[in-house]
Amino acid sequence: MREALSSTELKRHFIASATRAHFGLTVSPTEQCNFRCTYCYEEFVLERMSAAVYDALRLLVERTMPTVRTFSLAWFGGEPLLEWQRVGEFTDYCRALALTYGVHMPPATVPTNAWNLTSERLAYLAASGVGDFMISLDGEAAVHNQTRRLLSGRGSFERIYRNLLEARDALIDDPFRIILRLHLHQENQDSQRRLAEQLFIDFGHDPRFVVHPITLGDFGGPTVHTLKLLSGAQSAPVEAAIRSLFGPGRTVDLEQDEHTVCYAAKPNHILVRPNGRLAKCTSALGRDDNDVGRLEADGTLTIDADKALAWSFGFQTGHPDHLACPYHDKPAVQPLRFMRSIASA
Ligand code: SF4
């Protein structure tokens, strides 16, 4: 349970989330994936982004960059690195424009299953400005392979781990960080503890590798019920043990740090899907209330403001869970009134 925010904190988060001086862009280059993890909620509907949508995206960034002070780019999928060259090219393009206009742009982030993350591709992406790679592990090989499977049903642990070791050993000049998301459910806690010990032996001396223990959630996938999920309180002892093994500088807690306000709740953040449709939440791609507009060919955004701002209802309720993840409790579309009332409070 997250602690309630004071009205000062709420207002500070609202200003940061609504200011026009920042623009947050998440891009999904494809919704396809070479994996079929047993808890995945994705529907794998859309194919790769077309050249026309990339052209429009570039125009969007050209329009936006002169008007902001900070710009963030996150990739999403499917498996984004099925399109690793596009990911590198577009990130590099944004970075060059940010430099031109003196805009602060932190390294881009990408979640990846790491199947295709060879050390050469990692080096290319790091040189292009992709800095954070989020890679999920579900336990030691036999346990991981039960849930993180290829489309064929084959397990994936061995190749992912080999790629991680190669990433550690390769001579890569540009900075990067690999965030190892250690998913927890009722039946893999012991295995994750042992895996964490192995990871500490293999990567503990390399500050580019950090761990992020986290409970698996239910975002509606068709087979997530085959797993016994944990509540946050139930997983706390294992999370604490893994955090204490790696120490404070080598663990991240995205929920507590950057995600006090989820990107879906931020009015100044948008997701562009491969077909140019706009969304707020990456976990609700099939929901009509998450289909909030479209990217036009000239790089402008046509947004249904009521629909989009309904994802920011946590600023009205002030409930920290509604800000951290509006997915579960979000009510139907709400009017804009509350945004104005907070802004003027
Ligand atoms: S790798 Fe990610 S997108 Fe692909 S099936 Fe697994 S959870 Fe879903």
Q: What would the pLDDT profile of 187-239 be if each residue is shown by its tens digit?
A: 999 999 999 999 999 999 999 999 999 998 877 777 778 888 888 788 899 99
Give the pLDDT confidence score for residue 344 in this predicted structure: 47
Q: Indicate which atom in ligand 1 lies nearest the CA of residue 148.
A: 6
Average pLDDT over residues 62-91: 98
Other C-beta atoms closer than 10 Å to the C-beta of 138 total 26
**What percent helix, strand, coil does the chain show, rounded to 5?**
45, 15, 40
For the chain, the average pLDDT equals: 91
Ligand 1, atom 6, lies closest to the CA of 37
Tens-digit pLDDT profile for residues 308-339: 999 998 888 888 888 888 888 887 655 455 55
Is any ligand 1 atom within 6 A of the Cβ of residue 42?
Answer: yes
Is any ligand 1 atom within 6 A of the Cβ of residue 39?
Answer: no
Q: What is the C-alpha to C-alpha distance for residues 232 and 283, in angstroms, rounded to an integer?
A: 19
Pocket test for ligand 1, best of 28, 32, 37, 146 (most atoms within 8 A of CB): 37
Is any ligand 1 atom within 6 A of the Cβ of residue 79?
Answer: yes
Number of helical (H) and strand (E) elements in the chain, helices listed first: 12, 10
Asked if pLDDT for residue 268 goes beyond 60, the answer is yes
Average pLDDT over residues 172-181: 97
- Which pair of tokens denotes residue 80? 């984004």
Pocket test for ligand 1, best of 35, 145, 152, 160 (most atoms within 8 A of CB): 35
Asked if pLDDT for residue 243 goes beyond 50, the answer is yes
**What is the DSSP pairing of strand 293-295 with strand 301-303?**
antiparallel
Tens-digit pLDDT profile for residues 187-201: 999 999 999 999 999
Ligand 1, atom 5, lies closest to the CA of 36
The CA angle 193-241-132, to the nearest 5 degrees, is 80
**What is the DSSP pairing of strand 277-279 with strand 293-295?**
antiparallel
Is any ligand 1 atom within 6 A of the Cβ of residue 31?
Answer: no
Is any ligand 1 atom within 6 A of the Cβ of residue 37?
Answer: yes
Q: What is the C-alpha to C-alpha distance for residues 52 and 58, in angstroms, rounded to an integer?
A: 10
In the chain, which ranges are continuous DSSP H helix? 7-18, 51-64, 84-101, 119-128, 141-147, 157-169, 189-203, 232-246, 305-309, 314-317, 320-324, 337-343
For the entire predicted model, the pTM comes to: 0.91
Is any ligand 1 atom within 6 A of the Cβ of residue 160?
Answer: no
Is any ligand 1 atom within 6 A of the Cβ of residue 33?
Answer: yes
Give the pLDDT confidence score for residue 318 in this predicted structure: 85
Give the pLDDT confidence score for residue 230 in this predicted structure: 87
Give the pLDDT confidence score for residue 345 in this predicted structure: 43
Average pLDDT over residues 65-77: 97
- Which pair of tokens denotes residue 286? 């099939």
pLDDT tier at 298, thresholds 50, 70, 90: very high
Average pLDDT over residues 63-76: 98
Tens-digit pLDDT profile for residues 17-46: 889 999 999 999 999 999 999 999 999 999
Give the pLDDT confidence score for residue 187 in this predicted structure: 93
Report the percent of the chain where pLDDT is more than 90: 74
In 3D, which of 138, 197, 210 has the Cα closest to residue 168? 210
**What is the DSSP pairing of strand 108-112 with strand 293-295?**
unpaired
- Which pair of tokens denotes residue 18? 């609504």
